[in-house]
Amino acid sequence: MMRAGIRPSWWIAYWNILVKDVRAYYLKPPNISWGILFPLAWTAMFLIRSGGSMEDVRALLPGIMSLSVLFGTTSMLAVTVTFERKGRSFDRLLLAPLPLEMLMAAKTSGAIAFGVLNCMIPFWMASFFYDLSGASVPSILAAGAVLSVVCTFMGLFIAVSVKEVFEAQTLSNFFRFPMLFLCGLFFPVSSLPIFLRPLSYMLPLTYGVDLMRWILEGQGLISVPVDWLALVGFASLLFMVSLRSIRKKWIQ
């Protein structure tokens, strides 16, 4: 566990690791295009599908924003950590005089910021064509941030569970694609068969989508406090499990 009090040198190390990752991975042209074009493509597709109805746009936008966060964060982090682990550069980071919690916070911060950006792109695009002035931008940023944290830690969990990059992508899809249909992205969880609904409530994206619906539509299936508590709980659980796996597999 991280000791009480954070040394200034830890913050310097945190910042250097974050800047290195941003330059090495997140600012590369393919990743920038992926981060921008993917949510833009999804947004354009569903805006066309909506037929111009404001009600349909508000109903579809929470799912599009959550989907952009899910694919952007899990894809980036699962691949980068697995790649560095295979190239042994991650092993050198583990030798640094830095608490593991601080090290992994630095490794995941870039993906979290990437996820928040992915979350906002569909909202900004839709706001050019529709009046979304009633939506609280700070609330959207807060919800997008906590959802990005959860999805990033899910990517971290995937990365520490595999050895090869292709395995990380395969395992990511194992988690992501069921969420497309079970988490209320494009149709409500209440419309699912009864035997599938308990599974929906076991997936973190369900609570992220519902929270976005409260912000954009003013209504949702679950209460806002439960959404926040569930997302924070999933984030804490995924981070602790990932740290435990790193200590067991990569350090001992």
Return the number of other C-beta atoms located less than 10 Å from residue 89's C-beta: 11
Identify residue 122 by its one-letter amino acid code. Answer: P
Tens of pLDDT, residue by residue over 179-203, are: 888 888 877 888 888 988 899 999 9
Q: What's the whole-model pTM score?
A: 0.87
pLDDT value at residue 159 = 86
Q: Output the CA torsion 56→58→62→68 (10° steps).
A: 70
SS3 228: helix
* End-to-end alpha carbon distance in the chain: 15
SS3 131: coil
SS3 107: helix
35: DSSP letter: H
- Non-local (6+) Cβ contacts of 101 within 8 A are 1, 2, 243
The answer to whether the CB of 2 falls within 8 A of the CB of 101 is yes
Q: What is the C-alpha to C-alpha distance for residues 160 and 157, in angstroms, rounded to an integer?
A: 5
Tens of pLDDT, residue by residue over 52-98, are: 566 667 778 888 889 889 888 887 777 788 878 877 778 788 877 88
Tens of pLDDT, residue by residue over 128-141, are: 877 787 788 999 99
The answer to whether the CB of 146 falls within 8 A of the CB of 224 is no
